[in-house]
Amino acid sequence: MIRGLIQTVFLLIVLSILTGCNSAPVPPEVSEAEQQQLGLWKAGAEIYMPAEYKTYKRSLRDGQLHLLSRNQRFAWFRNYKDIKLEFTNILAQGKVLEAKVNEHKRIISGNIANQIAFFQNRIETLRKLASLINEGRLSSRALTKAELQLAEICVLSERQCYTDAEKKLKGMSMYTEQAANSILPILNRYTDNAKITKWRNWVNEAVEASKRRQSYSIVVSKVDKRLYLYKSGRSYKTYEIGLGTNGSHDKLYAGDKATPEGKYQVIKKVPGSRFYRALLINYPNEDDRRQFAIAKKKGLIPQRAAIGGLIEIHGGGKRGMTYGCVAMEDHHIDELFRIVDVGTPVTIVGAIEYENSVTSAMKEL
Amino acid sequence: MNKKRIIYLALGVMILALLLGCSKKPEQELTDSKAVLEAVAAEGGEKYAKEELNVIQSEMTAAQDEMAVQDGKFFKNYDKTKEMLTQVKAKAEALQAELPARKEKAKTDAQAALDAATMAVADAKALLAKAPRGKGSMADLEAFNADVQGLETALTEVQGLMTSEDYFVALDKANGIKDKAAGISTQITEALEKVKAAKKR
């Protein structure tokens, strides 16, 4: 009896060794889930959906542990039905997570694209505004840095490295603000209604005088980069002009390269000027002297500074570099030179209209 | 009878030995594999072989799981654990051996991009230097000059990134600088041509 039992057990052991692991195969869902997990990791599930990814990974790990434990069973008694079901559920969980990750990435990428467009537009507007007032030198450095940073953000976004792109986007405002702050004090001059009202009054007076005296009057608008010639109170000719670096400021002292604003007149016609032909105006006038004294008293200008002079409307080309003068194309100054005489009023203002090119460009900021 | 008992006892011992198998826990293999993986991470695996490192780390977890299962059993068999740990170690060592070459390639690529960017900035600067001063588009030239200054600052940032071995970031930044510098050079040339054309008229 005992001998028979021992023989049976022995036979069973020998059989099991011979048959080896001849049990049911591990369900394919197991390796599918492992591949899925790798795919989710690559897609950034850990970054974009950390909590859900952690839950998913816990489920996968539980499943893997269950599979391990099942594999320890004697081959004949191994059954993977419940393991298959468990991994099917894990795959379904992974698919839901994958959809969520993709949706999240779609939203982030959309937000990043919007922000890129916003900053591109802001940089473009700031460049345009700086160019309007001839002050690219003040803002270009910061804007170049902003453009470089934006280029990096675009590359990161293309590579779907959204977290890095978002981090860099946070630093963008610093550069654009820096650029804006460098030119805003100048731009604000052209949006200041009180200033524009004062300038409009000067222009009206100049036009009125031209009408009253049946003579010519010159009006220069800095923001429009135009010289308007009035004849008997009516617009007669318009010329494009150029101003120098810092020309958008009101002149305070010699060497500040600013173009004066005020009511002047032609005091000399210079036919053989260094800049082709020139109309010398009577800067500084009484008002300029008063402003200069105040600025000096307040310490706004160097104590040794002189008030300057020799402000002209001259040729040499409107793109020419001037140090406070008004530059014109040679054929335009030729014409103007022939028309106007000494004594012709010259009114230089920042802007004539409340809605000017600066105010409209600033709306885009 | 006595002889039979001895035979049965010997048979029993043989079966037990078969079931117990190699029961020595592969502590040394585990320590070795962990050490190589840590070395890979320390030598820049996260930066230069992120994906491969992640796969090996998952395999390491699986090996540890297998070991934990055997730990809980009466008849322990660590053969599979050993095999898994040996594979992990071999893969990690292969990756570790590859890292210096990957790092070197990243460094070479970044340096080449930096050199190209430096040259592009120098070209833009040279164009600016030969632009006529005084009469001409001075305000534009001053703006371009500020642009170039911005690029030069950015170049020093790339140098910093090279020193801190952030080669991928350095590469992207340098490429951006090169493109921007080329754009500025084109703008300067166009501006100068406009001035020339205006003078001819």
- Give the helix ranges, DSSP H, for B2-48: 2-20, 27-40, 46-48
Which of A7, A42, A57, A319 should we substitute to test contact with B (largest number of B Cβ atoms within 10 Å)? A319
Q: Is B151 on the interface with A (CB under 8 A)?
A: yes
- Give the pLDDT mean for B65-81: 87
Q: Is B83 on the interface with A (CB under 8 A)?
A: no
Positive or negative: CA dihedral B53, B55, B57, B63: negative
Burial per residue of A258-288, b for 16 or more beta-carbon CB atoms within 10 angstroms, e otherwise: bbbbbbbbbeebeeebebbbbbbbbbbeeeb
pLDDT at A272: 87
What confidence tens digit (pLDDT) does each residue in A276-303 have? 899 999 999 999 999 999 988 888 888 8
Q: Which residue from B minimizes the CA distance to A68?
A: B66
What confidence tens digit (pLDDT) does each residue in A202-228 have? 999 999 999 999 999 999 999 999 999
* Coil/strand/helix, residue A114: helix
Tell me the pLDDT band of B133, cut-offs 50, 70 and 90.
Answer: low
Is the Cβ pair B198, A142 closer than 8 Å? no
Q: Is B54 on the interface with A (CB under 8 A)?
A: yes
Q: Among residues A23, A29, A81, A99, which one has the least CA distance to residue A60? A: A29
- Give the pLDDT mean for A122-134: 91
Is the Cβ pair B55, A135 closer than 8 Å? no
Q: How far is CA A343 from CA A46, A210, A216, in A?
A: 79, 12, 10
Please say if the pLDDT value at position B86 is more than 50.
yes
Please say if the pLDDT value at position A317 is more than 60.
yes
What confidence tens digit (pLDDT) does each residue in A234-266 have? 999 999 998 887 888 888 898 888 899 999 999
Beta-carbon pairs below 8 A across chains A and B: 105
Q: Is A38 on the interface with B (CB under 8 A)?
A: yes
Q: Are A279 and A264 in contact (CB under 8 A)?
A: no
Query: What does the alpha-carbon distance between residue A14 and residue A16 come to, in Å, rounded to a whole number?
Result: 6
Q: Which residue from A minimizes the CA distance to B158?
A: A148
> B73 CB contacts (<8 Å, ≥6 apart)?
A72
In the numeric block, the tokens 């300067």 are attached to: B188
SS3 content of chain A, % helix, strand, coil (to 5): 60, 15, 25
- Maximal C-alpha separation, chain B: 129
Q: A5-13 — which CB contacts under 8 Å span 24+ positions?
A: A6/B8, A10/B11, A13/B15
* CB-CB neighbours of A230 under 10 Å: 23
Q: Is B189 on the interface with A (CB under 8 A)?
A: no
Query: What does the alpha-carbon distance between residue A342 and residue A281 come to, in Å, rounded to a whole number?
Result: 9
Q: Which residue from A minimizes the CA distance to B11?
A: A10
Q: What angle do CA A166, B47, B94 make, to 5 degrees?
A: 155
The domain ranges of chain A are 1-191, 192-352
Query: What does the alpha-carbon distance between residue A95 and residue A106 come to, in Å, rounded to a whole number?
Result: 16
Please say if the pLDDT value at position A135 is more than 60.
yes
Q: Is B19 on the interface with A (CB under 8 A)?
A: no
> What residues are paired with A229 via a beta bridge?
A218, A237
In the numeric block, the tokens 């009577």 are attached to: A282
Please say if the pLDDT value at position A21 is more than 50.
no
Is the Cβ pair A244, B140 closer than 8 Å? no
pLDDT at A50: 95
Q: Is B198 on the interface with A (CB under 8 A)?
A: yes
Class of domain A192-352: mainly beta
Output the average pLDDT for chain A.
90
Which of A140, A150, A152 should we substitute to test contact with B (largest number of B Cβ atoms within 10 Å)? A140
> A293 CB contacts (<8 Å, ≥6 apart)?
none
- ipTM score here? 0.79
Q: Are A248 and A357 in contact (CB under 8 A)?
A: no
Query: What does the alpha-carbon distance between residue A74 and residue A77 come to, in Å, rounded to a whole number?
Result: 5
* CB-CB neighbours of A76 under 10 Å: 13
- Give the pLDDT mean for B2-30: 73
* CB-CB neighbours of A93 under 10 Å: 17
Of A155, A244, A317, the CB nearest to B172: A155
> A261 CB contacts (<8 Å, ≥6 apart)?
A199, A222, A250, A251, A348, A349, A350
What confidence tens digit (pLDDT) does each residue in A158-193 have? 999 999 999 999 999 999 999 999 999 899 999 999
Query: What does the alpha-carbon distance between residue B16 and residue B23 come to, in Å, rounded to a whole number?
Result: 12
Q: Among residues A95, A107, A177, A109, which one has the least CA distance to residue A142? A: A177
Q: Which residue from B minimizes the CA distance to A57?
A: B58
* CB-CB neighbours of B91 under 10 Å: 20
* CB-CB neighbours of B112 under 10 Å: 12
User: Bigger pLDDT: A255 or A326?
Assistant: A326
User: Bigger pLDDT: A24 or B25?
Assistant: B25
Is the Cβ pair A136, B194 closer than 8 Å? no
What confidence tens digit (pLDDT) does each residue in A39-85 have? 999 999 999 999 999 999 999 999 998 998 888 788 778 889 999 99
pLDDT at B136: 47
Q: What tokens does A354 get?
A: 């409340």
> Residue A106 half-sphere exposure, CB side, CA atoms within 13 Å?
6
